[in-house]
Amino acid sequence: ATPTALMVGTGRGAQLGILIKGPEVLESTRRVDTVVLDKTGTVTAGQMRLHGAVTAPGVDEEELLRLAGALEHASEHPIARAIADGAAERVGDLPVPADFRSEPGLGVQGMVDGHAVLVGREKLLGAWAIELPEDLAAAKAAAESEGRTAVAVAWDGEARGVLLVADAIKETSAEAVAQLRALGLTPMLLTGDNRLVAESVAREVGIDEVIAEVLPQDKVDVVKRLQGEGRTVAMVGDGVNDAAALATADLGLAMGTGTDAAIESGDLTLVRGDLRVAADAIRLARRTLGTIK
Ligand code: ADP
Ligand code: MG
């Protein structure tokens, strides 16, 4: 395409709410055949809320909320914010943790009121040889099959309860997926979250292929593996966790509502955080470069 056509395409992008890093980006946009969508904050709103708690026998629910909320108050993860806010609403002021550590894609750990507390995935508890008792595991599975994220809480070497957190799917996500399909692209859902939760979200928006329980540092490898299969991959994400995958993908699309790290790593920014604009971007690139679909 001529420089003029590229400039017009870039300008048209801005009108549609697409910020394009450079003219060469349109060429990779045109060739994309697979679109990998991050779940939290991309397909879903990323505004999690605490919906409930299930306690192990003998555990006080307020104590569960206080200890878990205190630890999550120190984390910036959307799940952490939901738990800290929900806990503060119920129990008031939260204690300040000591020795706080965040384990990306797994959860958080630290000392609260003299207790060694863990909050996160079952895998995080597993690293400390802590198992979820049957009743908590059942509550967790039931919540996950409905698309809620169940966060395990343990202290002093024992599982104490499960917190249920849910995130609304964006109203525009299903339509966006349908549009991507209509353009001949294969959509896939990629997440660090549990498989049952991921499959429930995928079903609701019309995605068949789900890659779940992926650690943040492994998202890049998923993109590389798909590229190794001969695919030209677009990755759409919002989080700090997505930055490396966005940079590795043939085309990185960052949600404008997401983190600075994601926006810096992307080739395109979807200003309004509306996933339908990803389809607009592909259409624009094809049109600008004069390809007939
Ligand atoms: P996604 O890929 O959907 O954006 P992440 O990779 O950030 O999700 O997190 C994956 C999973 O790890 C979450 O679904 C949650 O179960 C767990 N997790 C991560 N951080 C935290 C935290 N601060 N508190 C509780 N759970 C967490
Ligand atoms: Mg995310």
71-102: pLDDT as tens digits: 999 998 889 999 999 999 999 999 999 999 99
**Residue with the two structure tokens 């994400």:** 237
Averaged over 244-273, what is the pLDDT?
93
- Output the pLDDT for position 76: 87
Q: Considering the domain 3-45+169-288, what is its CATH architecture? A: 3-Layer(aba) Sandwich (3.40)
Helix H or strand E segment including 284: helix 276-288
Give 124-157 pLDDT, tens digit per residue.
999 999 999 999 999 999 999 988 999 999 999 9
Residues whose CB falls within 8 Å of the CB of residue 116, separated by 6 or more in sequence, listed in order: 109, 110, 155, 156, 157
Residues whose CB falls within 8 Å of the CB of residue 240, separated by 6 or more in sequence, listed in order: 216, 259, 261, 262
Averaged over 169-175, what is the pLDDT?
96
ipTM for the predicted complex comes to 0.93
Residues with CB under 5 A from ligand 2 (ion): 38, 40-41, 238-239
Position 291 confidence tier, pLDDT thresholds 50, 70, 90: low
Averaged over 187-207, what is the pLDDT?
95
- Output the pLDDT for position 293: 42
Q: Domain locations in the chain?
A: 3-45+169-288, 49-166
Domain 49-166 falls in which CATH fold? Answer: Calcium-transporting ATPase, cytoplasmic domain N (3.40.1110)
- Output the pLDDT for position 271: 93
Nearest residue to 67 (alpha-carbon basis) of 1, 107, 115: 115
Q: Is the pLDDT of residue 69 over 80?
A: yes
Percentage above 70 pLDDT, the chain: 99
Q: How far is the CA of 112 from the centre of ligand 2 (A)?
A: 28
Q: How far is the CA of 201 from the centre of ligand 1 (A)?
A: 15
Residue 52: alpha-carbon gap to chain centroid: 21
Give 226-250 pLDDT, tens digit per residue.
999 999 999 999 988 899 999 999 9
Averaged over 195-214, what is the pLDDT?
96
Best residue among 112, 193, 210 to mutate for probing ligand 1, ranked by most atoms within 8 Å of CB? 193
In the structure encoding, which two tokens stand for residue 126, read together?
């597993």
Helix, strand, coil fractions of the chain, as percent rounded to 5: 45, 25, 30
Q: How far is the CA of 135 from the centre of ligand 2 (A)?
A: 30
Nearest residue to 91 (alpha-carbon basis) of 78, 117, 73, 118: 73
